[in-house]
Structure 1
Amino acid sequence: MILLNDLSERLQIDDPEERHTISPVSWSQYETLLSVLGDRSSYRISYLDGVLEIVAPSRRHESGKTRIGTLLEIYFLETNTEYFPTGSTTFSKSEQSVGGEPDESYCIGTDKEFPDLVIEVVVTSGGINKLALYSNVRWHIYILQIEY
């Protein structure tokens, strides 16, 4: 608990996260945006049922996802679990009209088309419901909630 309190105090900087949603957006418009942005973008792009979300993550957001990812990777190493980090790679399924870029993601055991585990850090509310997005691609949802 001391670690979380210390972290909370150090992360009290004015660093707002920018979040914009646009609708209606077609699947082809979503795919065009992804191809224009390519792998160079620092924005996180999500799409669910005609709603497009563009997020410019804050420093607090990035710090949280990196710390959680680091702890998870230490766990994998300590337990000799074979894993493949896939980062914030874009995952999409056109037949479900869903696409997203998790903060971090991992395949466990073998490298796969879709990761087994994703980390999604929520700093501000609003925008696309990420749980609905991930359940549309048939992932099991487990939530670890840490508030600081």
Structure 2
Amino acid sequence: MNAQTVTPLAPVPEQIIRESKVVLKGVSWQTFQSLLADVGDDRAWRIAYDSGVLEIRMLYQEHEVPKRLLETFVESIADDLEIEVMSVGSLLLEREDLTRAIEPDTCFYIQNEALVRSKNIDLETDPPPDLAVESDYTNSSLNKFVIYAALGVPELWRYRRQTLEVYQLVEGQYERVTQSLAFPLLPIAEVPGFIEQSRAIGQRAAVRLFRTRIREILQNSESIG
């Protein structure tokens, strides 16, 4: 199969979206911290917190599958480029002084990997992840862009409606771009096709096709260079 011609599958018939979030208002930072301490890390939901508003989001397969594939794609690119990437998954990103916190679907240290390697990350003193990934199956009640921007995350990927959107932080606001800051060679428009292909051929087969495509791009760039 030619990895350059990834044919998206027919759109999935519209489905009824299950209620997947709870929004609580008037939640103090101390209450928010106490809640997380009480429930611990072993939970099937993620949070976003912005100045007293707490969103609790449940996780479903429709959300998790694209996220996991995007995570694998990032790791694959890093391997082919032979660069270090530190995956920190859904690490809680929080700043009490900003009264904001969020758990990305997954996130990575790339440009700043060496600065945080083997550290217990504290955003009061350490840089934020270089890349955060959100797989939006349902709409959030909070503006996550505002939270990520306040925390200073340089690059944000959002996958929704079979489209990968890439944003870069420019003067405190996110702008949608056509080239990834962390991985300039990433064929952004082609990524959703590999995710959709996985539904027909399997996840590992889709990852292998993706890696073949990345290697073709690298070879072409080397020959031009």
TM-score normalized with structure 2 length: 0.58
- Residue 30 of structure 1: how far off its partner (Å): 0.7
Structure 2 counterpart SS, 1:120: strand
The alpha-carbon deviation at position 141 of structure 1 amounts to: 4.4
Give the counterpart letter for 2:148 in structure 1. Y
Deviation at 1:138, TM superposition (A): 2.0
The answer to whether the 8 A contact 2:50-2:99 is kept is: yes
Structure with the bigger RCO (C-alpha within 8 Å, sep 6+) is: 1
* Cα distance per residue 1:98-120 (max 9 Å; x no partner): 01110001111325333211111
CA distance in 2 between partners of 1:13 and 1:20 (Å): 21
From 142, 148, 161, the counterpart of 1:147: 161
Q: Which residue of 1 aligns with 2:131?
A: 117
In structure 2, C-alpha distance between the alignment counterparts of 1:100 and 1:122, rounded to whole Å: 14
The unaligned stretches of length 5 or more in structure 1 are: none
Identity over aligned pairs, percent:
25
Whether the 8 Å contact between 1:47 and 1:98 is mirrored in structure 2 is: yes
Deviations 1:78-125 (A, max 9, x none): 101101110001110000000111000111132533321111111111
Partner of 1:22: 24
Q: How does 1:82-101 map to 2 (within 5 A)?
A: 82-101=84-103
Cα RMSD of the aligned pairs, angstroms, is: 2.2
Partners in 2 of 1:115 and 1:84 — Cα distance?
Answer: 9
Larger radius of gyration: 2
**Separation in structure 1 between the aligned mates of residue 97 and residue 64 of structure 2, nearest angstrom:** 31
TM-score by length of 1: 0.86
* Match 1:104 to one of 89, 103, 106: 106
- SS of structure 2 residue aligned to 1:110: helix
Aligned to 2:42: 40
For residue 135 of structure 2, give the secondary structure of its aligned residue in structure 1: coil
> Which contiguous aligned blocks of 4+ residues in structure 1 show a shift greater than 6 angstroms?
11-15
Alpha-carbon distance, 1:17 to partner: 5.2
Residues 21 and 57, structure 2, Cα contact 8 Å, conserved in 1? yes
Q: 1:74 to 1:14 in 2, by over 3 A?
A: farther
